[in-house]
Each structure stands twice: as C-alpha cells, then as structure tokens.
C-alpha cells in the first residue's frame, strides 16, 4: 500500500453514528464557504453606502475570495495527499473563523478585501480536504452517496447564499453574514478535532510548491476575470481590456508549458489525457458555470418583472437548493447501483429541457411554474454532481484523491467566477443594456431568454462530454 492511500483501519474504526457526525463536521466548513461566495451579493448596496464607494469598487470583495480559493486549492490537494487531511482541515477552519471575524469587523474596504483573501485561504484548506476525509470514513460501496451529500452541500450553500444573506442583512446588518461563521465554524472545528482520525502519514515530506506555476495561474485567472468584467463598461477594443485579455492568453500558454515540464505541477495536465478524467472535468466545469446563470438571473426576473418582494424572491430561490438537497443523495445511491453514466446523462437532459423551458417565462407566468423550473434546475445539478465526481475521482484512484478533489474544487470556483461574468456579458449582448433596477420587462426578458438558451447549448456540450467519457460501448463506472 502506498504512502498516500487510505488505511483500512480508517474506514472501520468509526461506528455508523460517528461516521455521520464526522461527515457533518467536515462539511460544515464547505457549506459556510459556499454561502459566503454568494450571500455577500445582496449586501453590496449597504456596504457601498457604509464605505462611501460605488458598487463597482466592491467587485474585489467577491473576486478576491473566489480567486484565492481557485489559486490555493490545487496545491493544498497535493499537500493533503502527502501529509494527511485532518491537520489541514483543522487549520483551515480556524483560519476561516478568524478571517470571518476580521471581515465582519473591518473598518474600511481595503482591510475587508485583505481579510477576504485570508478567508479564501482558509476556505481553500477545507475545500481541498473534505472529500478525501469523508471517503476515508465510509465504506467504498457508499462513495456515490457520500459524494452526493457533499455535492448537495456545495450547491446548497451556493444557492441558499442570497436567501440567507438577505435574511441576515435585513435583520442584523451586512456584517452578520460574516460574523455568523464564528459560532457555526467553531462547532465544525470541535467535531473535526474530536472525531476525525489522526493523520497516518507521519514523516511524509511536504511537496515543493510550483511557484512559477502558482504565479502564472493567478495571473491568468485574475487577468481573465478582470478583462471580461471591464469589457461591458469600457468596450472590447479598450486598451485596458485588450491588455488584460492578452495577458490572460499569454499566461495561460506559459502555464500550460510550465505544468507539462515541471516534475511537481500545480495541476497535472497529463491527467486530462485520461478519457474519463478529461471529459468528466470538462463536464463538471460547465455545470459550475451554468449554476450561476439562474442564480444571477432569476432573482432579477422575480423582483423586476414579476414585482415580487425581496423576501418572497429569497424564499422562492430555496426551491433550487431544496430540490438539490433531496436529489443529490438519491443520485449517489443510483450511481452506486448502476454506474455514473446513466444518472449524469439524465441530469443533463433535464437541465437542457429546463433551461429551454425557462427561457419562455413572461410577466404573466404563474408562481407554480417558476417554482417548478427552479426545482428542476436544482434537481438536475444535484443528479449530475455525484455520479460525475465519482467517475472522475475513481479514474485516478484513491492515492490521487486529494489531487482529483483539488482539481474539481479549482474548476468549481473558477467556473462560478466565470459564470457570473459570462452571464453579465451575455445578458448585455442580448438585452442591449446592463441589468439594472427599473429596467423594462421587455428588455430584461430579451436578455433573460438569450442567456438561458446559451446555457442550454453549454449543457448540450456537457452532455456530449459525458458521452465521450465512456466511449462507444457506453460503459458504466459502477466500480468507481
């Protein structure tokens, strides 16, 4: 057995009840981290007023957090494989708690952004470690179910973020979005330290950090997102936009060359030559991008077109998260029985049909239809996430679980960041103007329909990627 494989005793020492308590403890941090990725959106106007800045200046409150997570997760996944995940997870939870307290008490915007970076480092620590730790706690035959629960936690945090953020901001102010992490995080940290088995990888060397690759990846992702973000306001031909996008292209190329040559790559690009891993990660990335399309557009549709209150809008958005929470564990059970291919294809078929159907929503659309479409979107994401993750991680093997999980987490955060930017770009392209308060329903619906139809097309690309994962025979991955 290799140094990085999970020891059998780690799978059998915990009783059934203890295993589920461990799972709850390790997923607490992931839920908080994903809530914090989206909850802050509803508080931006209040933050802008308090700090005396415009909303555009607050973009780094979001970007700094997501970009930090995106940058650190690949290395932390490798570190987890080398020295064990418990100590990284524990340090990450404590870092996240301290940073959340500092963000919630920040007296000025620069201070807040700095501590959002620290918060992102903490979030990256447990995002890179929870999946290997959870899988090591349960029998191999339950992997699909556990991945389904983890997937539902990730997505539920993302989708519930705006609703929870709205409730907390309305009741206690925007700082409560971050301060609530302190007591919740402490509960998770106590559970991890008390129940998760000690790391067995004593004496393992800390892997060397690919500093050039790390730097190039940060330059690529930040310049890409900034370039796409500035394009609607400055224009595609503006020197700043061209400079940022040009930098993104150059650094992306240099990053690929670096990762192919170095002995310690940040992201092992050669893994993408594997059919299941390569096409599976592409499908996963597209699903994370698509997750943000309805998350951004549906609140505006309900508030600006249907005239619903913020409270009702937030309540309706929970339909997505509830559907996902219900379906994700079932998808894990299904994939454990029949393999990954069938659930993933069914999920993407539902997603394509739902995006197309949602594009026809109008001012007169009934409430039940909006709720049903939101639930179907949530169910399709929940049905897809677990089988696809199981196939991708199973393709590399348990000794590379941290690397695979780190790559998936990186794609998740980069996909979410790109998803928001892409939604804004596509909306303005189809509507002819930015999405603002008081926009006419006709203009909004033109952009709404266009973005969702493009989303259906991207879901079709993900569907094709899943087909290519398994080849002509359409083999399943029940063993994965």
Q: Could you read off the pLDDT of 18-58 as tens digits, one per residue?
A: 778 778 877 887 888 888 887 877 676 678 778 887 655 66
392-to-262, 377, 470, 477 alpha-carbon distances in Å = 23, 22, 12, 10
Any idea which of 116-125, 138-147, 266-275 has the lowest mean pLDDT?
Answer: 138-147
User: What's phi and psi for 121, nearest 5 deg?
Assistant: -65, -45
Decide if 43 contacts 177 (C-beta within 8 A): yes
Q: What is the pLDDT at residue 130?
A: 79
pLDDT mean across residues, the chain: 80
Does residue 95 have a pLDDT over 90? yes
Q: How far is Cα 262 from Cα 424, in angstroms, rounded to an integer?
A: 37
Q: How far is Cα 235 from Cα 244, in angstroms, rounded to an integer?
A: 13
Q: What is the pLDDT at residue 478?
A: 47
Q: How far is Cα 263 from Cα 207, in angstroms, rounded to an integer?
A: 11
Average pLDDT of span 259-276: 84
Q: What is the pLDDT at residue 150?
A: 79
Decide if 131 contacts 405 (C-beta within 8 A): yes
- CA dihedral of 446, 460, 227, 233, whole degrees rounded to 10: 0
The rounded percent of the chain whose pLDDT value lies above 90 is 24
Q: How far is Cα 300 from Cα 447, in angstroms, rounded to an integer?
A: 11
Q: Given 1.20.1090.10, 3.40.250.10, 1.20.1250.20, 3.40.140.10, which CATH number is that of 11-194+264-470?
A: 1.20.1250.20
Q: How far is Cα 85 from Cα 134, in angstroms, rounded to an integer?
A: 10
Q: Could you read off the pLDDT of 228-238 as tens digits, one per residue?
A: 878 877 888 89
Does residue 158 have a pLDDT over 90? no
Higher pLDDT, 104 or 442: 104
Q: What is the pLDDT at residue 57?
A: 64
Confidence of residue 355 (pLDDT cuts 50, 70, 90): very high
Does residue 124 have a pLDDT over 50? yes
User: Exposed/middle/buried for 441, CB within 10 Å: 0-12, 13-18, 19+?
Assistant: middle
Q: Could you read off the pLDDT of 462-471 as tens digits, one per residue?
A: 999 999 987 6
Average pLDDT of span 296-309: 81
pTM of the model: 0.75
Q: What is the pLDDT at residue 9?
A: 33
Non-local (6+) Cβ contacts of 72 within 8 A are: 120, 121, 124, 125, 128
């Amino acid at each position: 057995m290799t140094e990085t494989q999970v020891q059998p005793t780690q799978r059998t020492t915990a009783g059934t009840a203890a295993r589920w308590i461990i799972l709850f403890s390790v997923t607490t941090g992931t839920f908080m981290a994903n809530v914090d990725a989206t909850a802050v959106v509803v508080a931006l106007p209040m933050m802008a007023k308090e700090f005396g800045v415009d909303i555009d200046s607050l973009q780094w409150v979001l970007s700094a957090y997501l970009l930090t997570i995106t940058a650190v997760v690949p290395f932390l996944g490798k570190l987890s494989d080398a020295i064990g995940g418990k100590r990284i997870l524990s340090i990450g939870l404590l870092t996240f708690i301290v940073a959340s307290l500092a963000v919630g008490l920040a007296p000025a915007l620069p201070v807040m952004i700095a501590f959002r970076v620290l918060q992102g480092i903490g979030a990256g620590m447990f995002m890179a470690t929870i999946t290997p730790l959870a899988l090591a706690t349960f029998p191999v035959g339950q992997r699909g179910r556990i991945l389904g629960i983890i997937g539902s936690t990730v997505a539920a945090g993302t989708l519930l973020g705006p609703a929870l953020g709205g409730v907390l901001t309305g009741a206690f102010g925007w700082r409560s979005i971050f301060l609530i992490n302190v007591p919740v995080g402490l509960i998770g940290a106590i559970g991890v330290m008390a129940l998760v088995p000690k790391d067995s990888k004593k004496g393992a060397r800390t892997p060397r950090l690919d500093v050039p690759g790390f730097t190039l990846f940060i330059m690529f992702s930040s310049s890409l997102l900034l370039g796409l973000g500035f394009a609607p306001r400055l224009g595609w031909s503006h020197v700043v936009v061209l400079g940022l996008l040009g930098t993104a292209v150059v650094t992306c190329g240099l990053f690929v060359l670096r990762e192919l040559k170095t002995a310690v790559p940040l992201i092992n690009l050669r893994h993408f030559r594997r059919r299941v891993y390569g096409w599976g990660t592409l499908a996963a990335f597209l699903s994370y991008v698509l997750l943000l399309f309805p998350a951004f557009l549906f609140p505006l549709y309900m508030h600006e077109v249907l005239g619903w209150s913020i409270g009702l809008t937030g309540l309706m958005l929970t339909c997505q998260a509830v559907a996902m929470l219900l379906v994700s564990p079932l998808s894990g059970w299904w994939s454990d029985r029949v393999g990954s291919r069938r659930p993933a294809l069914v999920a993407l078929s539902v997603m394509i049909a739902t995006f197309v159907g949602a594009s026809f929503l109008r001012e007169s659309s009934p409430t039940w239809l909006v709720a049903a479409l939101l639930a179907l979107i949530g169910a399709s994401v929940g049905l897809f996430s677990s089988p696809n993750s199981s196939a991708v991680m199973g393709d590399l093997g348990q000794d590379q679980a941290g690397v695979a999980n780190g790559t998936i987490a990186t794609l998740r955060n980069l996909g979410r960041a790109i998803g928001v930017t892409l939604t804004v770009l596509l909306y303005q392209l189809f509507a002819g103007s930015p999405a603002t308060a008081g926009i006419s329903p006709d203009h909004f619906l033109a952009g709404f329909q266009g973005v969702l139809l493009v989303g259906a097309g991207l879901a079709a690309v993900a569907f094709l990627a899943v087909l290519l994962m398994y080849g002509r025979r359409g083999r399943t991955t029940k063993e994965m």
